[in-house]
Amino acid sequence: MDPIFLKVLIGTTLLASSAAVVGAFSYLKGQSLVGDAIAHALLPGVVLAFLLGDGRNPIFLIVGALISGLIAHYGIGYIQSRTKLKSDTAVSLVLSTFFGFGIMLMSYIQRTGQGQQAGLERYLLGKAAAITMYDVYVFSALAVILMVGVGLFYKGFQLMTFNEDFASAIGLPVPLIRFTFTVLTVLAITIGIQTVGVVLMAALLITPSAAARAWTKSLPTMLLLAAVFAASSAITGTYISSAIPKMPTGPWVVLVLAFFGFGSLIFAPEKGWLAKRRRAMANQKKTVRENVLKLMYQQEERSDLNVVLSDTDILDIRAMRPEKLRNALRELKRRLLVVEHGSGYALTELGRSEGRRVVRLHRLWELYLTERLGMAADHIHPGAETMEHVITPEIEELLVKELGNPELDPHQSPIPYEEA
């Protein structure tokens, strides 16, 4: 295997996976924009370290970036605490100021004709191919530090992310945990910009976490998935950039990450768009079926007889799309809730019980709205039309108890309980 390719592969994989793990906590804390601001704010620190120290030694550049990032992070916090500016305004102010200062310093270097400025371009746009074996050793050590830091402070990071007040109440050293988290975040961004640059660093920090969050509710699993997505993107991006001449690695890493991100948002089993769409369609079909059962039960209430209704009869009473009605009747028949009688449909005992339940929930909720919330009787029907489809048996039991086993709804219609 080509040693240059192997060097780039190892470097990008370490950078991406370690940044993704730390970035997961920033994502869960709702500080995604802060990570983007810090990434841009690293540029002046890198350039100043380049000017004042050994421009070819990554240690000098990392220290400069780390100092600049910490100043930017605490600057954002200071602006938020001492002014009336909102968080996004403070982030934008710090980002633009630091990044503009960094660009100005880079322009100065170019005008002075110093031959070293070419090495700085990788921090702006990323240049994984410029990673040396010495860089790999340094980044490997930093990646280990990041992982060990997350492991040692995992419990503190977890509590600080979800409930900082509780962490303080149980005696955890929150200021120390917050400072450690800040240092690790800035360090992760510092080493990550070697691959994708300050412009695209936010994607490397946040996208793996956003993708992983769509697949799980477990924090450990989320951290693992974020690292896997980031590492897979780094490996794939490196292979693509090596296969296509003059193709940069960093943008390909971000594009593959975007594939994982959008793919997760669409195909994740519970939180994905397709899963949500399927649930929404299932709820719509369930609502139509229950509306049909309710309508048929109400017709039986009025006549005290078993009623047979055709498609046209149902559409005359309640407006709905004929295709949806036909599908609902077909499914109700399959579930043995209705039976065909000639050209119409009638309720079975099971269907009658289900229709009675929907009517009961509708009338109980109407009564609750009038007696407990003081709503007028002529304003409660639309709300009850919605709630009758989502009230669970547990909530129904509480409603009956709260209302004192009522017999009539606000319109003096009987509330039909199950027959003993």
Query: Given this model, what pLDDT does residue 202 score?
Result: 79
Give CA separation, 39 vs 35, 102, 188, 205, in Å.
6, 12, 10, 10
Query: Given this model, what pLDDT does residue 118 score?
Result: 47
Query: Given this model, what pLDDT does residue 115 score?
Result: 46
Same-domain pairing of 196 and 322: no
Domain boundaries, position 322 = 272-420
Same-domain pairing of 238 and 292: no
The last residue of one of the domains, among 235, 268, 301, is 268
Query: Given this model, what pLDDT does residue 182 score?
Result: 85
DSSP 73-125: HHHHHHHHHHSS--HHHHHHHHHHHHHHHHHHHHHHHHHHT-GGGGGGHHHHH
Nearest to 43 by CA among 128, 155, 126: 126
Query: Count of domains in the chain?
Result: 2
The last residue of one of the domains, among 228, 251, 268, is 268
Same-domain pairing of 354 and 414: yes
Same-domain pairing of 187 and 280: no
Query: Given this model, what pLDDT does residue 63 score?
Result: 84
Q: What is the mean pLDDT, run by run of 10 residues, along the chain of 420 residues?
A: 73 83 87 82 85 70 85 89 86 90 83 58 65 75 86 90 87 88 84 73 87 93 93 89 79 90 93 94 95 95 87 93 95 96 92 95 95 91 92 94 93 86
Same-domain pairing of 228 and 298: no
Same-domain pairing of 110 and 15: yes
Nearest to 204 by CA among 253, 164, 162, 156: 253
Three-state SS for 180?
Answer: helix
Q: Domain containing 396 — which CATH number?
A: 1.10.10.10
Q: Are the C-beta atoms of residues 56 and 34 closer than 8 Å to each other?
A: no
Q: Domain containing 97 — which CATH number?
A: 1.10.3470.10
Rounded to the nearest 10°, the torsion over CA 140, 136, 235, 223 is 20
pTM value > 0.85:
no
Same-domain pairing of 89 and 188: yes
pLDDT tens, residue by residue, 386-415: 999 999 999 999 999 999 999 999 999 999
Same-domain pairing of 173 and 88: yes
pLDDT tens, residue by residue, 90-143: 888 998 999 899 888 888 877 765 545 545 666 666 666 666 777 777 778 888
Q: Cα–Cα distance between 64 and 54 in angstroms, integer? A: 11
340 DSSP β-pair partners: 345
Same-domain pairing of 112 and 62: yes
Same-domain pairing of 173 and 98: yes
Same-domain pairing of 62 and 155: yes
Same-domain pairing of 214 and 309: no
Segment (H or E) for 58:
helix 58-82
Residues 6+ apart with CB under 8 A from 225: 208, 211, 212, 215, 216
Query: Given this model, what pLDDT does residue 14 score?
Result: 82
The last residue of one of the domains, among 268, 286, 315, is 268
Structure tokens at 329: 């009747």
